[in-house]
Amino acid sequence: MRIRVQKFGGTSVATRERMLRVLDKVGKGLEEGNKMLVVLSARAGETDKLLALAQEWSANPDPAEQDALVSTGEQASAALFSMLLCDAGIRGRSCNGAQLGIMTDEDWTKARIRSVDTGKIRKLLENYDVLVVTGFQGVTRGGRITTLGRGGSDTSAVALAAAAGADLCEIYTDVEGVFTTDPNICSQARKLDRISYDEMLEMASMGAKVLEIRSVEFAKKFSVPVLVRSTFSDEPGTLVTGEDHSMENILVSGIAYDKDQARVSLCSVKDVPGAAAAIFGPLAEAGLSVDMILQNPSHDGVTDVNFTVSRKNLKRTLEIMEGVRETMGGLEVRYDEHVAKVSAIGVGMRNHAGVAAETFAALQSENINILMISTSEIKLSCVIHEKYAELAVRTLHQAFGLEKSSYPEDAGAMQD
Amino acid sequence: MRIRVQKFGGTSVATRERMLRVLDKVGKGLEEGNKMLVVLSARAGETDKLLALAQEWSANPDPAEQDALVSTGEQASAALFSMLLCDAGIRGRSCNGAQLGIMTDEDWTKARIRSVDTGKIRKLLENYDVLVVTGFQGVTRGGRITTLGRGGSDTSAVALAAAAGADLCEIYTDVEGVFTTDPNICSQARKLDRISYDEMLEMASMGAKVLEIRSVEFAKKFSVPVLVRSTFSDEPGTLVTGEDHSMENILVSGIAYDKDQARVSLCSVKDVPGAAAAIFGPLAEAGLSVDMILQNPSHDGVTDVNFTVSRKNLKRTLEIMEGVRETMGGLEVRYDEHVAKVSAIGVGMRNHAGVAAETFAALQSENINILMISTSEIKLSCVIHEKYAELAVRTLHQAFGLEKSSYPEDAGAMQD
């Protein structure tokens, strides 16, 4: 039994007409000899409507009941699409999380999938050619309905693909695939034919927003090949997959940026054991996540600690730093809420030293001052003034030649 | 563990404000020391919206998928109400048909309850004080969602009461209870304190529309006392229960009427064995239900057969009778679509002969011509011209003294 998973987002199933387009895609999958698992989101706007309804009913809705309410959005779209399948004479039916054994923890509104009942799926696929699955939801061991949180339908799709042993998980969306950078700020941005899981994780977390980050983690863990493509065209899309040698030849695959950044600087921190814990412990306790952290070597027993947080968390962060200042004494707190982060990402970086030098040179050529630098194995990030963000993206995109295809002409053949 | 069931219809849960009133009723049940099973319909208008959506998607929606779609209406109202429970600090949660083990057959859109998992309910009630149950739905053995058909929430409530061994099943609606007749056409109509299952079955099937007929059958079968009362007042309502001796002292409990009647007359039917089967067999095959059937003794080997059908079925009935006429030969088909049926109902009739004479005399006093007469153990029905329907109802209501309470002053004491 060859199985393919297809996932369609809210805009792809918003109306009957759009669902007919989805029906075409599913039909093609069947023609190619696959049994199909079709994961659907709620129709565009429905989830927001249901969440607004919950807010109307309660200032602080019980999260388990909110999940039971919100899950009806996907149940409706799965049932409506299955009607179209039945009308087309295709053996298909809708399945919700409970019916398919998509088990999650009890972390309501942002539950994590623990297991999927492979036997149930296979048994249902003996009787049906298409199972239409409600995305974004599952059930607890006690049988209560959970939702996976925003974007969770991608994770549902990848988890089902892993459980069912699908050859491919197609994520249909309203863009053509993953781009070298945001086409809205860089007209040279080019669609990538393929990208590694790790690069995709860095791109997604930086706001590339094509795939939900947890779905990519899942795909990497279970080696599920994910093809991101458009519902509204027949373009081949971008394959998110494991690394291969051809990928390592490419120094940088994409440029990401994030303007939701604020920098906090603590100056004259006494460089004693436990200093970092005293600073970041209270932030973690308050549930505030810190992005980049930098600490310079100390001079005369004092050092500077710099970090960035999401702008909406700046106010609370500064309040907490005020407490830290009183406890630790002597240090000075500064901040800058007009910064942005620009990053070059590529698995090829691992084996090449030149990326940092190239990045700094390119930014300098435009007189863009670098405020903070941070590196990982496959990413180099610079914090700069936010007014330079777009310019920096375009400059780096050009510096690494991303407007040109990185694969030979016969790249298609490599994509199997 | 003392358990009470309460069921609230769509108008009772239409808005947050109305749900707060429901919360009051549930709170009173708790105060009286009960664990509560609260069965809710979809918010007023929601089921119609979902059915319209199904029609928009398909001219002939797959019935199983339609059920999956429509069932979201009750899931939403159960979740929303449970949010209010949680906010009030009451230990409660929503449960759908699958979660509570409400098993049905696979007769989509009008499924029948086969069993309810008593163990599951009792176990949940150990952890919760209130279970908020989606009315009108269940699951098949294969785990697919079914709906019970219009008014099915009443049946859900009674079935749950039977399974859980509840002391009482309260059906909250927008009327004060069951009346001696329709207050809209007879200002003398009086709310009944109690009524037997059998009388209620006759009242309901005649269009009294307070309780769904299947729920009354269920209540009778499992001896569940059902209290019909208003969400919008604290009036005691009408208790639907088994017969007792006090009931038998009352000759007639109520007057029902039905204006959706058309009469078909077959004249000069040859009185041979199989004649009735030849007439009614084809109607049954076509799924057309016949209400009243009358056949007079034959004269000279021929007889007349009269029956009534719902008006919307008259055209098809006449088409089928045309076929019967061709097969049997000789007979003549007449019809009258301007008739109505008026019935006197009461378990006391069983032991009293005077009801028929009283009825005929009363109608004659108003010069109302009786076209057909039919009697059962607890019901006497007359078909008359529809223009006299309201007059006949008022006349009979007065003739049997229904405006006066039939119980002694201390009737309240007899009700528990």
Grade residue A327 by pLDDT with cuts at 50, 70 and 90: confident
Q: Is B359 exposed, middle or buried (0-12, 13-18, 19+ CB in 10 A)?
A: buried
Q: Which residue of A has its CA nearest to B62?
A: A83
Nearest by CB: B83 against A57, A99, A143: A57
Q: Report DSSP letters for A273-337, one per residue.
A: TTHHHHHHHHHHHTT--EEEEEEPPPBTTEEEEEEEE-GGGHHHHHHHHHHHHHHH-S-EEEEEE
Q: Report DSSP letters for B359-403, one per residue.
A: HHHHHHHTTPPP-EEEEETTEEEEEEEGGGHHHHHHHHHHHTTTT
B58–A83 CB contact, under 8 Å:
yes
Going from the C-alpha of B90 to that of each of A375, B87, B131, the distances in angstroms are: 52, 8, 11
B68–A82 CB contact, under 8 Å:
yes
Residue B236 main-chain phi, psi, to 5 deg? -70, -20
pLDDT digits (tens, 9 = 90+) for A213-258: 889 999 999 999 999 999 888 889 999 999 887 777 778 999 999 9
Query: Would you state the CATH architecture of domain A3-174?
Result: 3-Layer(aba) Sandwich (3.40)
d(C-alpha A365, C-alpha A388), whole Å: 13
Task: Give the model's pLDDT for residue A208.
Answer: 55
Nearest CA of chain A to the CA of B156: how many Å? 20
Task: Give the model's pLDDT for residue B244.
Answer: 80
User: What is the interface size between A and B, counted as CB pairs within 8 Å?
Assistant: 100
Residue B135 main-chain phi, psi, to 5 deg? -75, 170
pLDDT (average), residues B389-405: 93
B86–A58 CB contact, under 8 Å:
yes
pLDDT (average), residues B57-73: 97
Contacts with A79 from chain B: Cβ below 8 Å: 65-66, 68-69
Angle at which helix B152-164 crosses helix B118-127, to 10 degrees, equals 80
Contacts with B38 from chain A: Cβ below 8 Å: none
**Sequence-ordered list of residues with C-beta below 8 angstroms from that of A334, at least 6 positions apart, any chain:** A264, A265, A266, A267
pLDDT above 60 (res A207): no
Tokens of B139: 């699951």
Nearest CA of chain B to the CA of A67: how many Å? 8
pLDDT above 50 (res A416): no
Task: Give the model's pLDDT for residue A63.
Answer: 97
Residue B133 main-chain phi, psi, to 5 deg? -105, 135
Going from the C-alpha of A187 to that of each of A210, A397, A404, the distances in angstroms are: 18, 10, 13
Tokens of B46: 């929601």
pLDDT (average), residues B276-305: 86
Asked if residues B350 and B245 have their Cβ atoms less than 8 Å apart, the reply is no
pLDDT above 70 (res A415): no
Nearest CA of chain B to the CA of A365: how many Å? 58
Contacts with B61 from chain A: Cβ below 8 Å: 83
Residue type, B325: R
Q: How many CB atoms lie within 10 A of CB A392?
A: 24
pLDDT above 70 (res A411): no
Residue type, A310: S
Q: How many CB atoms lie within 10 A of CB A174?
A: 13
Nearest CA of chain A to the CA of B184: how many Å? 36
Task: Give the model's pLDDT for residue B225.
Answer: 97
pLDDT digits (tens, 9 = 90+) for B310-349: 999 999 999 999 988 888 877 889 999 999 999 999 988 8
d(C-alpha B399, C-alpha B404), whole Å: 11
Going from the C-alpha of B231 to that of each of B13, B21, B26, B170, the distances in angstroms are: 10, 8, 11, 10
Task: Give the model's pLDDT for residue A309.
Answer: 94
How far out from the chain centre does Cα A191 lie?
Answer: 17
Q: Percent of chain B scored above 70 by pLDDT? A: 96
Nearest by CB: B57 against A16, A60, A69: A16
Asked if residues A130 and A85 have their Cβ atoms less than 8 Å apart, the reply is yes
Task: Give the model's pLDDT for residue A298.
Answer: 78
Tokens of A111: 């539950």
d(C-alpha B172, C-alpha B13), whole Å: 11
pLDDT (average), residues A315-342: 91
B-interface mutation test, from A56, A77, A80, A134, most B Cβ less than 10 A away: A80
Contacts with B87 from chain A: Cβ below 8 Å: 58, 60, 62
> What is the residue-averaged pLDDT of chain A?
90
pLDDT digits (tens, 9 = 90+) for A344-403: 999 888 777 788 889 999 999 999 999 999 888 899 999 999 999 999 999 999 999 999
Where in chain A are all domains bearing CATH 3.40.1160.10? Answer: 3-174
Grade residue B205 by pLDDT with cuts at 50, 70 and 90: low
- CA A209, A213, A217, A220: dihedral to nearest 10 degrees? 0
Contacts with A66 from chain B: Cβ below 8 Å: 79, 83
pLDDT digits (tens, 9 = 90+) for A60-86: 999 999 999 999 999 999 999 999 999
Residue type, B143: G
Residue B397 main-chain phi, psi, to 5 deg? -55, -45
Q: Which residue of A has its CA nearest to B56?
A: A16
> DSSP secondary-structure letter at B177?
S
Asked if residues B10 and B46 have their Cβ atoms less than 8 Å apart, the reply is yes
Grade residue B206 by pLDDT with cuts at 50, 70 and 90: low
pLDDT (average), residues A128-144: 96
pTM of this prediction? 0.83
Instruction: Report the candidate in B178, B252, B256, B239 with the shortest Cα–Cα distance to residue B404.
Output: B252
Task: Give the model's pLDDT for residue A101.
Answer: 94
In CATH terms, is domain A255-399 a member of 3.90.1150.10? no
d(C-alpha B388, C-alpha B338), whole Å: 10
Going from the C-alpha of A251 to that of each of A130, A349, A408, the distances in angstroms are: 41, 5, 15
A168-173 vs A3-8, strand pairing mode: parallel
Residue A370 main-chain phi, psi, to 5 deg? -95, 120
d(C-alpha A254, C-alpha A275), whole Å: 36
Q: What is the ipTM of this complex?
A: 0.82
A80–B98 CB contact, under 8 Å:
no
Tokens 């119609």 -> residue: B48
**Sequence-ordered list of residues with C-beta below 8 angstroms from that of A384, at least 6 positions apart, any chain:** A339, A340, A341, A342, A363, A368, A369, A370, A371, A392
Where in chain A are all domains bearing CATH 3.30.2130.10? Answer: 255-399
> DSSP secondary-structure letter at B179?
B
> What is the residue-averaged pLDDT of chain B?
90
pLDDT digits (tens, 9 = 90+) for A10-67: 999 999 999 999 999 999 999 999 999 999 999 999 999 999 999 999 999 999 999 9
Task: Give the model's pLDDT for residue B412.
Answer: 36
pLDDT digits (tens, 9 = 90+) for A175-194: 889 999 998 899 999 999 99
Tokens of A176: 């053509």
**Sequence-ordered list of residues with C-beta below 8 angstroms from that of B319, at least 6 positions apart, any chain:** none
Enclosing H/E stretch for A81:
helix A72-87
Going from the C-alpha of B401 to that of each of A122, A124, B352, B364, the distances in angstroms are: 68, 63, 16, 17
